Chain A
Amino acid sequence: MSTASATSRHEDHVEGRSLLQDAARRFRHHPTGILGLAIIVFFVAITILAPVLRPVDPLKINLRDRMLPPTWTMSQQELEQKQLHRWSFPFGTDVQGRDMLVRVLYGGRISLRVGLEAVAMAALVGTILGLIAGFFGGWIDTGIVWFVDILLAFPGILLAIAIVAALGQSLLNALIAISITYVPVYIRIVRSVTLSLRESEYVQAARALGSRSVRIILAHVLPNGLSPLMVQLTLSIGTAILDVAALGFLGLGARPPTPEWGAMISDGFGRFRIAPWLSIVPGIAIFFSVVGFNLLGDAIRDVLDPRLKR
């Protein structure tokens, strides 16, 4: 990092408020970004409102009605035979005869929440470690960089699989595992911002004036690192949701009978022949929610990245 770029970041910070306002204004003119936001709001809303939208117990087992196709695809005769009406189970039922629609809704609570929390946790831990490494330097920095390099030596999903295998199957452990795989990237971002700022004139000046390290960091470094962090955050959430699903698919996520999208796909995998809706429905849910976060992430990058300002 040259001093020139540090100065420019410094200036960004000084006009921080206007930058954010500027970004918000530009976001309003970003149609795909708004679409992404709309998709996310839609998913969050329907999963939160699930008990209102469909007051059915997602855990209620009914072996008599197991693996029914979406009821609107059934013939009148079949419906009468089963004593169902056309919209009894719009997405069909699963292997336990549970309502797929309500399971997908509740599954969204798990998948979206874990995706968000894993990334948030990674960002928090990564930011703290990045700040420490960048600001204190020396053997602390060496140690943290070593740690990052070790984590980065493993393909992400392999590391997550190994961690869950070590900690045992549970949703919390899946969250921790995914979170750990995302930590290095945040450490790197924050560390490089901190490093470049540490030598900058105004931090040096603040130090000379007797400001304590912590205050300097909070006052100067964080706001400057916010923009790359925000971009990374939104883009990570989409992949984190996919990772949660992958772990669930491999049987390393939420414990049954908790509905989780990846585990639902895995339930349907062996039964695609006889009940394709079991895996198609949660797959589509994952797809659209990830699309939502990716659209939003792209948009945030567009509006925050000064290089594309022109």
Chain B
Amino acid sequence: MFAYFVRRLLGLLPVLFGVSLLIFTIPRVIGSDPARIMLGERASPESYQRLRTELGLDTPYFLNLKEARTRGIAGLFDAQYPTFVAHAVQGDLGKSIFSRIPVRDSLAHFFPATIELTLVAMFFAVVFGVPLGIVAALNRGTLVDTGFMFLALAGVSFPVFWLGIIMIYLFAVFLGWLPPSGRISPTLIFHSTTGFYLLDAIVQGRWGVLWNLLRHLVMPGIALGTIPLAIIVRMTRSSMLEVLGQDYIRTARAKGVERRAVINKHALRNALLPVITVIGLSFGQLLSGAILTETVFAWPGIGRFVYDAISSRDYPIIQGGVLFIAIMFVLVNMLVDLSYAFIDPRIQYT
């Protein structure tokens, strides 16, 4: 098992190499010029050229053949991509070209917010999705089933950002029930040690803060959780139906075991296996959905951070942030993959 894990991890290396190459190349294909962005509306040609040199934008992208002649191998790799990779491997993703904040620090700062939002969205999806799916399956073909299935279908058919806008105006502006955006009321004095606000609020026993945090999480959590919710409802239902149709369930029923007992003891446990798979896979989709959700709700997470950087063409953040997201994405998917081994004893890894 461990050997397999290591092998899978090593197998990621070529993928990460390709990812880094892509991340490095795309902004340069754009032809956008960080020096120009830094200088603003009016800038003299001299200060522009000087800044380009200072930012290292005048060195070649991949290999520096000119330097190689005089300095050999060290000179050959005195180019933008090798420098980027060499630094990245050491955990140095550079600094934002505007704020000079190290990208690594920003990622460490924004990541917990995204994780928190993602977990809340997933919690919402599971807590509502699984029971709804079960109820639908048990009432197959009835109005309840049709209704739930239509709701689930509707859930995957909304543009997430649209749902977000409607919710902000309905619940925050017109009804005034919830705060329109953000993660915590800025007037609250609250210091987070881990970056996970919910956890810190509980540890510190700050129940008022916790309530405030939860109120901020409701709308983005629902907006982000809607699609996984819909998928989980559908998956639970179909998986449940499949199990209910199995011989051993029929046998149990025939032997006179009570319906409720059959469902609880036999059907549920087996039906939930594929559901867990779906939950795992949805994490990746949530990371994707978080970009739009965080933008609409001004959620200080990694998706909005990277999207803002794409808009403002902050190269180091784009490179570092997208690389980080890609690594997380790949790792989560791999872990989900591996976790099947624990859940489903039929699968064996050698």
Contact = CB atoms under 8 A, between A and B. Distances in A.
Please say whether the chains A and B touch (CB closer than 8 A).
yes
Interface of A: 146-147, 149-150, 152-158, 161-163, 165-166, 238-239, 242, 245-246, 249-250, 262, 265, 269, 272-273, 276, 279-280, 283, 286-287, 290-291, 294-295, 298
Contact of B156 (A238, A262, A283, A286): A238
B159 A156 contact: no
Interface in B304-330: 306-307, 310, 318, 322, 325-326, 329-330
Interface string B156-176: 111111100110110001000
B26 A162 contact: yes
B326 A153 contact: yes
Contact of B306 (A150, A158, A249, A269): A158
A265 B162 CA distance: 7
Contact of A249 (B26, B159, B284): B159
B158 A153 contact: no
B15 A150 contact: yes
The 8 closest A-B pairs by CB, nearest first: A155-B288, A150-B18, A290-B157, A283-B162, A153-B326, A149-B15, A291-B157, A166-B26
Contacts of A249: 159, 161, 292
B19 interface: yes
A250 B292 CA distance: 9
Nearest to A266: B161
A214 to B, nearest CB: 29
B327 to A, nearest CB: 8
A154 B326 contact: yes
A288 B328 CA distance: 34
Nearest to B318: A162
Contacts of B158: 283, 287
B14 A146 contact: yes
A298 B235 CA distance: 13
A163 B158 CA distance: 24
A45 B165 CA distance: 30
A242 B159 contact: yes
A276 B170 CA distance: 11
B30 interface: yes
Contacts of B273: none
A301 B153 CA distance: 15
A165 B310 contact: yes
Contact of B153 (A149, A155, A294): A294
Nearest to A284: B162
Given A249-B161, A265-B162, A146 B153 contact: no
B1 interface: no
Given A154-B322, A154-B325, A291-B154, A262 B26 contact: no
Contacts of A163: 26
B89 interface: no
A272 B169 contact: yes
B19 A157 contact: no
Contacts of B101: none
B30 A147 contact: no
Contacts of A149: 14-15, 18
Nearest to A168: B30
A162 B159 contact: no
A279 B168 CA distance: 13
B159 A262 contact: yes
B203 interface: no
Nearest to A147: B18
A165 B322 CA distance: 14
B29 interface: yes
Contacts of A162: 26, 310, 318, 322
Interface in B277-302: 284-285, 287-289, 291-292, 295
B322 A279 contact: no
B292 A157 contact: yes
B285 to A, nearest CB: 8
Nearest to A238: B157
A276 B169 contact: yes
Contacts of B18: 146-147, 149-150, 153
A34 to B, nearest CB: 14
B142 to A, nearest CB: 14
B22 interface: yes
6 contacts: A157-B292, A158-B325, A161-B307, A272-B169, A283-B166, A291-B154
B308 to A, nearest CB: 12
Contacts of A166: 26-27, 29-30
Interface in B131-163: 153-154, 156-162
A52 B321 CA distance: 49
With most chain B CB atoms within 10 A of its CB, the pick from A146, A155, A156 is A155
A154 B291 CA distance: 12
A276 B14 CA distance: 49
B332 to A, nearest CB: 11
Contacts of B14: 146, 149
With most chain B CB atoms within 10 A of its CB, the pick from A152, A162, A245 is A162
A254 to B, nearest CB: 16
Contacts of A290: 156-157
